[in-house]
Amino acid sequence: MKIDNIRNILENAHIIQNEETYYQFAGLKYNPAIIQEISKLKIQGCRLFLKSFDTPRELFLSSIESLAEDKTKRLERELHEIRNKKLVDKRYRIEDNYVNWSNWRQFNAIETNHNYRKNVFDCFIEKTELIKPVIEKRFNKIRNIYEYDGGMNPLHGYLESEGVSYNKLKEFVENLANLTSKLFNERLVALSNKIFDRNPEYYDDFYYFRNRVFKDISDEFAKANPISTVIKTLRDLRMNVKKISFDSEDRKNKYPSPICFFIHIPSDIRILYREESPYFDFQGCFHESGHAMHATSIDPSLEYEKKYHIPMGINEIFSIFLERLTRNKKYLEKQLKISNKGKLDKIIELNNFMELFFVTFYAANSLTKMDFWMNKRSIENTNKIYSSMMKKYTNIEMPGQYWMLHHIMPESIMYVPSYLLAAVRAAELEKKIEELYGENWWESEEAGKYLRSMMKDGANINLQEFSKLDSRVFLKEITR
């Protein structure tokens, strides 16, 4: 069988499956049988490739990854359903629904009673016992697939796709965390005492702070529509916004985090998010639109693996890059008409704090997940490691089971270090763009043309054109 025929099978199957998964994550009616049957077709396509070919290497790695994901689809769906149906605290409601895993962040964003938030947090930590067997079974199966079909563990597959060694990635993550943790801990305590009149507690997690700290400046963003604002910016850059759709409706079982689905690259890209707080909605919308900007710019003639299996450290660059506009003083002045210098300074100050929180939190996540795969940890041992990592870098006494309540940690094979890689690269990219097209680059058609010429290559963008993975640019910005 010709390799291009296998690619066609995999791409068509991917499109059908991804659309059905989109409906699931949107909280809409979906057909799990379609997802399962298409998974079987993708498995057959991957098996055909692995039986006859071992190159190109990108397709080999993507085939192993697809096998691992598609052979565990039933378990992934079971995890999704348990979180929505059983991770519920019936003591509390948000509007007409009980608080569950999907609307937990919305509840935290509006609930002013800290004891109620603590009660829900503790309830969900206790109920991780319901999802632990599913996560463990799925990850064990994924490990076995990587070892049997690829001759590697899942972490090695991730590292090869990212083009980075284990030691280099570990050093990169630890260096970021070590250079930010002391400053973060000082600012966390100071800000918590200022806002809550007490020291931070474990239930004041990253996602709670992300909503709460911007409350005092939220009026500036409540007046702006994030979708129309980001669409205007994309149009100014001459991006194809007609291929992007947005769904911000609030539904009971809708996925809690903003997410972008590359249904059919480059012609059908869909963004989901549900409102939490005005400023976070703004940031989340820009972040996912950065993904969409990338996807709609990809050359449709590229091979399947170069379109749909983009290394995660590349996949997140353009989302973080566009999100950076939401903390760009000049952009906020010109596009949102925020003229109050004090408020603009406050936005930057609070964003720098949240970036410090992001680095330390995602460093703990990353090092835990790397250790999980590298050393074949049990869930119980992983809980202990996670708790110690959170204590080391954030100084928060976090229950170790918390990682199982995260939206990415228990779902993805790896992913989490990609945010840190991409955050550094996005800072480098913005510096490059500003050097070429000035501080108001978002108004420049030429800047858009430059970005499209880079993004069209999908997985094969030229990182060397703008990035040396030099964290000094990023760190200088967030530690000032």
Q: Which residues contact 154 (CB under 8 A, 6 or more apart)?
A: 68, 142, 143, 146, 373, 413, 414
Rounded distance between C-alpha atoms, residue 89 and residue 256, angstroms: 16
CA 427 to chain CA centroid, Å, is 17
pLDDT at residue 480 in the model: 87
Q: Are 230 and 237 in contact (CB under 8 A)?
A: no
Q: HEC string of 67-104? A: HHHHCCHHHHHHHHHHHHHCCEEEEEEECCEEEECCCH
Amino acid at 246: F
Q: Which residues contact 145 (CB under 8 A, 6 or more apart)?
A: 64, 67, 68, 71
What does DSSP say about strands 97-100 and 88-94: parallel, antiparallel, or unpaired?
antiparallel
pLDDT at residue 363 in the model: 98
Q: Are 350 and 212 in contact (CB under 8 A)?
A: no
CA 166 to chain CA centroid, Å, is 21
Where helices occur in 218-270 by DSSP H, the ranges are 218-222, 226-236
The residue with tokens 């079987």 is 40
The residue with tokens 């050093």 is 171
pLDDT at residue 54 in the model: 87
Reported residue count of the chain is 480
Residue 398 CB coordination number (10 Å): 22
pTM for the model stands at: 0.95
Rounded distance between C-alpha atoms, residue 100 and residue 254, angstroms: 11
What does DSSP say about strands 244-247 and 97-100: parallel, antiparallel, or unpaired?
unpaired
Q: Any idea what the Cα angle at residue 313 is, between residues 178 and 102, rounded to 5°? A: 85
Amino acid at 220: E
pLDDT at residue 137 in the model: 98
pLDDT per residue as tens digits for the range 132-161: 999 999 999 999 999 999 999 999 999 999
Residue 345 CB coordination number (10 Å): 11
pLDDT per residue as tens digits for the range 63-89: 999 999 999 999 999 999 999 999 999
Q: Are 267 and 293 in contact (CB under 8 A)?
A: no
- Asked if residue 133 has a cis previous peptide bond (ω within 30° of 0), the answer is no
pLDDT at residue 226 in the model: 95
User: What pairs with residue 88 in β-bridges?
Assistant: 100
pLDDT in tens, the chain (480 residues): 799 999 999 999 999 999 999 999 999 999 999 999 999 999 999 999 999 998 999 999 999 999 999 999 999 999 999 999 999 999 999 989 999 999 999 999 999 999 999 999 999 999 999 999 999 999 999 999 999 999 999 999 999 999 999 999 999 999 999 999 999 999 999 999 999 999 999 999 999 999 899 988 888 899 899 999 999 999 999 999 999 999 999 998 999 999 999 999 999 999 999 988 999 999 999 999 999 999 999 999 999 999 999 999 999 999 999 999 999 999 999 999 999 999 999 999 999 999 999 999 999 999 999 999 999 999 999 999 999 999 999 999 999 999 999 999 999 999 999 999 999 999 999 999 999 999 999 999 999 999 999 999 999 999 999 999 999 999 999 998
Closest CA relative to residue 162, chosen from 369, 420, 470: 420
DSSP string, 283-295: HHHHHHHHHHHHH
CA 329 to chain CA centroid, Å, is 24
Q: Which helix (H) or strand (E) holds 271?
A: strand 268-272
